[in-house]
Chain A
């Protein structure tokens, strides 16, 4: 049994929160550069150049890339031969988020509940998804989820008869409806399968994929490419000012589902696509 002390988890989460908000994902910056080569609109290219410059300025000044420093969504893969010592695992994750958001001068954007809406003051609680896996490692993947783009996300319970064609139309429709509102060009996470709630979680998890890295499943990779092309023909463009790049990537996660269901969830992420992972 390998022991990992909660203090290490606190320190790790603290640093992940700060770094993820200040240094945007390298695959995001690479995607800006690819988009810049393809974008036809002059204004669109200028927007992409501003995003690239913003990434440099944020890193240099050590201030957040975007003022919405988001919801801290944590995906944990916990090796079954790991023993967490010294306290509660979930408390340690939250303590790391609390310290990271306070000491990193990040915005505290979480309210205590949807109805009372009192700011918790430290961006906790984090959302924690834990998977127990073989081995003696602890993998922590942090996704910084902004709200503007989360607000345009959606889920539809298609029927098996409607199938993939309806699912594709739905995904394109969600991107079209998002229009200029949710900071395009988007990264589109798609979840297909499970019961209702599982589809949404898969869509969020799909956002962890490096942008533009095709799905290892060739048939899914083909669907991702087709969806990307259709979304990029919507004309919304960078910042919504019109252009040929409306999405930087489309990523799909699938799972088992019920014989009667074809759930499709679309989790939209803005161009400030942020996250970071670490293995302890």
Chain B
């Protein structure tokens, strides 16, 4: 796999900025992103079912699947790396249909999420899990916007600078996990 130049992207995202991205591209993200994981997704799903407003407008935004550690004194946020994205799969299409343009997590997505994302122009980025101390350094500002009672699962609005990710699922139907595995798979029989 060839390593390409880092591509810089800024939120809120536009279709044009995303269409040039390809699976395997290294990017750095600048601007506002939102956090949400299991419990926050379930609450947003319920809000939609009940016709209520979402805590933030997903249009053009990126959701980062993370539950950070509490900030020690003098720090903006604690460690903050991605969690397994597939647990959010049941709730993700409804957010994509409402304009979500990017997701940051780890691990593969369901067929339905990949199809919905492609149809609506939403890119899935992978960040390196377990580099939570490093990623924390890219976060310039953090504030809770909803569900504070959920603790680490609350929705935060983060301002990030140079947040590193790799494009996993692009808008052209490619999947870095599948391609990467295929390239290095050397299975011998039983």
Contact = CB atoms under 8 A, between A and B. Distances in A.
A61 B76 CA distance: 13
Given A66-B79, A67-B78, A107-B68, A234 B181 contact: yes
A241 B126 contact: yes
A41 B190 CA distance: 25
A54 interface: yes
Nearest to B178: A242
Interface in A224-244: 230, 233-237, 239-244
B79 A63 contact: yes
Interface stretch (B7-15, B43-51, B132-140): B132-140
A112 to B, nearest CB: 14
Contact of A242 (B80, B130, B133, B184): B184
Interface string A215-258: 00000000000000010011111011111100000000000000
Interface in A45-97: 46-47, 50-51, 53-54, 57-58, 61-69
A151 B87 CA distance: 11
Given A63-B79, A66-B79, A271 B180 contact: no
B18 interface: no
A261 interface: no
Contacts of A1: none
Nearest to A121: B151
Q: Is the interface of A mostly helix, strand, loop or mixed?
A: loop
Which applies to chain B's interface (DSSP): helix, strand, loop or mixed? loop
Interface in B58-88: 66-72, 75, 78-81, 83-84, 86
B108 interface: yes
Nearest to A240: B177
Interface in B62-121: 66-72, 75, 78-81, 83-84, 86, 106-108
Interface magnitude class on chain A: 35 or more
Contact of A148 (B83, B180, B181, B187): B83
Q: Which interface residue of B72, B79, B84, B187 has the most chain A CB atoms within 10 A?
A: B79
A53 B72 CA distance: 20
Contacts of A230: 188
A46 B126 CA distance: 14
B84 A67 contact: no
Contact of A107 (B69, B75, B134, B187): B69
Interface stretch (A4-12, A156-164, A177-185, A196-204): A177-185
B75 A239 contact: no
Contact of B180 (A41, A64, A69): A41
B57 interface: no
B184 A237 contact: yes
Contact of A42 (B3, B71, B106, B130): B3
Given A239-B128, A241-B126, A54 B1 contact: no
Given A67-B80, A148-B83, A241-B166, A179 B69 contact: no
Nearest to A24: B130
B181 A235 contact: yes
Interface centre among B66, B108, B137, B183 (most CB of A within 10 A): B183
A272 B130 contact: yes
30 contacts: A40-B184, A46-B3, A51-B131, A61-B133, A63-B136, A67-B66, A67-B68, A68-B83, A107-B67, A108-B152, A109-B67, A119-B151, A148-B83, A148-B106, A148-B107, A169-B190, A181-B84, A181-B106, A182-B107, A183-B130, A230-B188, A233-B186, A236-B180, A237-B181, A240-B177, A240-B180, A241-B1, A242-B181, A242-B182, A272-B129
Given A183-B106, A233-B186, A244-B184, 14 more contacts: A42-B1, A54-B133, A61-B133, A66-B129, A107-B68, A108-B152, A180-B107, A181-B86, A239-B106, A240-B177, A240-B181, A241-B166, A241-B176, A242-B184
